Structure formats: C-alpha cells, structure tokens
Amino acid sequence: MAEAFKIILQDSDVKGIFVNIFGGIMRCDVIAHGIIEAASEVNCTLPIVVRMDGSQVEEGKRLLKESGLNVQCGDNLGDAAGRIVSMLG
C-alpha cells in the first residue's frame, strides 16, 4: 500500500486519493491498517476516501475514522465517489 501511495503522490496534480477495495476474504481491518501505515509513512495530508467491503468492515471503518487522517469511508461505490468529489470541491 505504501508503494502505491508513493507512486500516486509523485504526481503534483493529485489532489486526493480514492481507495476502492472489495476484500472478499481479505479482512478490512487489515486493509485499514495498511492504509493508515502507508499514509503515515509518506506523510500524506491529502483527502482520502475509502470504499471497502469484506469481513471486519466495521472494524476497518472504525480504525480509519480514529486514525487522525483526513479520511472518510463510503458505504458503496457511488457514495464514496461523491465523498471524494465533495472533499475536493
């Protein structure tokens, strides 16, 4: 996840990050920890919207909410897309 953030943030035109993960069997709390660690490692201050679905999704959302990052979670793809647009507008 950190490598993905590093690549994205090399482009100065990037104003926000949208993460869309359908975890299936992947636990969303593990995904949330990866996003938190990646954003911290690269000092990301941009708005981040995460749409994730899978096991432990509520725990993953809680971790992101309590992370101190500029992050919001969308309930579905449309909601998440609307949130990133709103955060950037």
Question: In this predicted model, what pLDDT tens digit does every residue of 22-78 receive, in sequence order?
Answer: 867 789 999 999 999 999 999 999 999 999 999 999 999 999 999 999 999 999 999
Nearest alpha-carbon partner for 5 in 86, 60, 69: 69
CB contact set of 41 (below 8 Å; sequence gap of 6+): 2, 5
Question: In this predicted model, what pLDDT tens digit does every residue of 46-55 receive, in sequence order?
Answer: 999 999 999 9
pTM equals: 0.90
* Residue 11 scores a pLDDT above 70: yes
What secondary structure does DSSP assign to 6-28, as a single string?
HHHHTSTT---EEEEEEEETS-H
Edge to edge, the sheet with strand 48-54 lists: 17-24, 48-54, 71-74
The residue written with tokens 């969308």 in the block is: 74
Domain that residue 50 falls in? 2-88
Query: Torsions phi, psi of 49, nearest 5?
Result: -120, 135
Domain count, the chain: 1
CATH code for position 18: 3.40.50.261
